[in-house]
């Protein structure tokens, strides 16, 4: 490349830099603006959702803590998210090992079958579970809700742990078996440490996805099984005070805490580094 052409490219990049800066600032404002609005409204002293807020007060956090459906929904969301995450990992990790390390016929078909819930619309999945399990077999709403969330999280368990397993060298497992280690010892001493970042990533993504889910939870809810997002949705249909904003701020703070803990314990590079592989 000639010097004149190089200078022209540098000059063109400098000319485009203000445009890129404006676009970057606009993107940040679009992403952060709603968060700033919700945080400001949560601390308002007024009785309605207004911006800018009318003074400063913590009254709405107390009101949210005293509202029974929110507390019941929080407990339900925690139980369902934790249970669905554990079951999805218990099913997804062995399935991942069978797909990537086994000699199953039609492995691609089996893998696509595990990944299909992420492609299928949640309302369709929820309607099918409602008709087949609740209406057809008489399964309780809490049981169907747990099954639905587990199916929703299976793709994360299989895809993310599979990404970590793909990055591992199969020769390590062969070497362990060659040195006399049995299948169980090889799994716990060689394979599991390799899968640990993927399992951590799948657990974080799965728990957050289940906790924040609305369509499936809304369709499969029953008496006493409304999750926190569903309770919040039902609240805003009849009330216009900043209580939901206060709950949103608490959930946002909890998400930041979970992110910091995950970074300290495992590290985002290890957790999410292999997902796109």
Task: Give per-residue pLDDT as tens, 176-190.
Answer: 666 666 666 767 667
Residue 41 lies inside a defined structural domain of this protein: no
**Rounded mean pLDDT of 34-39?**
79
141: CB partners within 8 A, 6+ apart: 134, 220, 221, 222, 223, 225
Q: How many helices (H) and strands (E) does the chain have?
A: 13, 0
Residue 149 sits in the same domain as residue 95: yes
Measured between alpha carbons, how far is 77 from 226 in angstroms, rounded to an integer? 8
The number of beta carbons lying within 10 Å of the beta carbon of residue 133 is 18
CA-angle at 128, arms to 125 and 133, nearest 5°: 120
Q: Please state which of the ranges 49-53, 133-137, 154-158 shows the lowest mean pLDDT.
A: 49-53
Measured between alpha carbons, how far is 243 from 265 in angstroms, rounded to an integer? 33
H/E stretch holding 254 reads: helix 243-265
Measured between alpha carbons, how far is 89 from 9 in angstroms, rounded to an integer? 50
Residue 104 sits in the same domain as residue 145: yes
Domain that holds residue 224: 66-272
Residue 131 sits in the same domain as residue 267: yes
Residue 116 sits in the same domain as residue 181: yes
Is 214:156 a contact under the CB 8 Å cutoff?
A: no
Measured between alpha carbons, how far is 211 from 130 in angstroms, rounded to an integer? 20
pLDDT at 194 over 50: yes
What Å distances lie between residue 114 and 23, 78, 108, 111, 159, CA to CA? 39, 24, 10, 5, 9
Residue 13 sits in the same domain as residue 107: no
71: CB partners within 8 A, 6+ apart: 65
Average pLDDT, the chain: 77
Residue 70 sits in the same domain as residue 30: no
Measured between alpha carbons, how far is 180 from 182 in angstroms, rounded to an integer? 6
**Rounded mean pLDDT of 158-184?**
70
pLDDT of residue 102: 67
Domain count within the chain: 2
Residue 47 lies inside a defined structural domain of this protein: no
Which is more confident, 97 or 276?
A: 97
- The single residue listed with the structure tokens 């289940």 is 210
Residue 234 lies inside a defined structural domain of this protein: yes
- Our measurement of the distance from residue 226's CA atom to the centroid of its chain's CA atoms, rounded to an integer in Å, reads 19
pLDDT of residue 21: 72
Residue 137 sits in the same domain as residue 247: yes
Which is more confident, 160 or 1?
A: 160
Band (pLDDT 50/70/90 cuts) for residue 253 is confident
Band (pLDDT 50/70/90 cuts) for residue 5 is low
**Rounded mean pLDDT of 230-248?**
84
pLDDT of residue 276: 46
Residue 191 sits in the same domain as residue 144: yes
pLDDT at 45 over 60: yes
- The single residue listed with the structure tokens 């805490």 is 257
pLDDT at 277 over 50: no
Q: Angle, nearest 10°, between helix axes 68-101 and 141-167?
A: 40
Measured between alpha carbons, how far is 149 from 80 in angstroms, rounded to an integer? 7
- The single residue listed with the structure tokens 């803590």 is 65
pLDDT of residue 83: 92
pLDDT of residue 231: 87
Rounded to a whole number of angstroms, the distance between the first and last alpha carbons of the chain is 34
Residue 4 sits in the same domain as residue 75: no
Residue 12 lies inside a defined structural domain of this protein: yes
Q: Please state which of the ranges 13-17, 161-165, 214-218 shows the lowest mean pLDDT.
A: 13-17
């Amino acid at each position: 490349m000639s010097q004149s052409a190089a200078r022209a490219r540098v000059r063109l990049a400098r000319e485009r830099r203000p445009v890129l800066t404006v676009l970057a600032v606009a993107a940040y404002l679009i992403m952060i603006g709603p968060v700033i609005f919700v945080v400001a409204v949560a601390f308002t002293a007024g009785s309605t959702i207004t911006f800018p807020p009318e003074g400063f007060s913590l009254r709405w956090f107390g009101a949210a803590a005293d509202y029974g459906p929110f507390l019941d929904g929080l407990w339900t969301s925690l139980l369902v998210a934790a249970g669905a995450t554990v079951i999805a990992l218990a099913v997804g990790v062995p399935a991942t090992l069978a797909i990537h390390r086994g000699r199953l016929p039609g492995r691609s078909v089996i893998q696509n079958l595990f990944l299909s819930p992420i492609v299928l619309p949640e309302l369709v999945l929820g309607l099918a579970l409602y008709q087949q399990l609740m209406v057809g077999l008489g399964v309780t709403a809490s049981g169907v809700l747990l099954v639905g969330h587990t199916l929703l999280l299976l793709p994360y368990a299989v895809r993310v742990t599979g990404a970590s397993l793909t990055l591992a060298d199969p020769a390590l497992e062969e070497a362990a078996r060659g040195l006399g280690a049995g299948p169980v010892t090889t799994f716990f001493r060689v394979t599991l440490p390799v899968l640990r970042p993927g399992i951590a990533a799948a657990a974080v993504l799965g728990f957050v996805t289940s906790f924040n889910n609305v369509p499936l939870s809304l369709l499969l809810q029953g008496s006493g099984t409304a999750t926190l997002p569903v309770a919040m949705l039902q609240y805003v249909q009849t009330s216009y005070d900043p209580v939901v904003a206060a709950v949103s701020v608490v959930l946002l703070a909890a998400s930041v805490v979970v992110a910091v803990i995950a970074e300290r314990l495992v590290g985002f590079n290890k957790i999410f580094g292999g997902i796109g592989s």
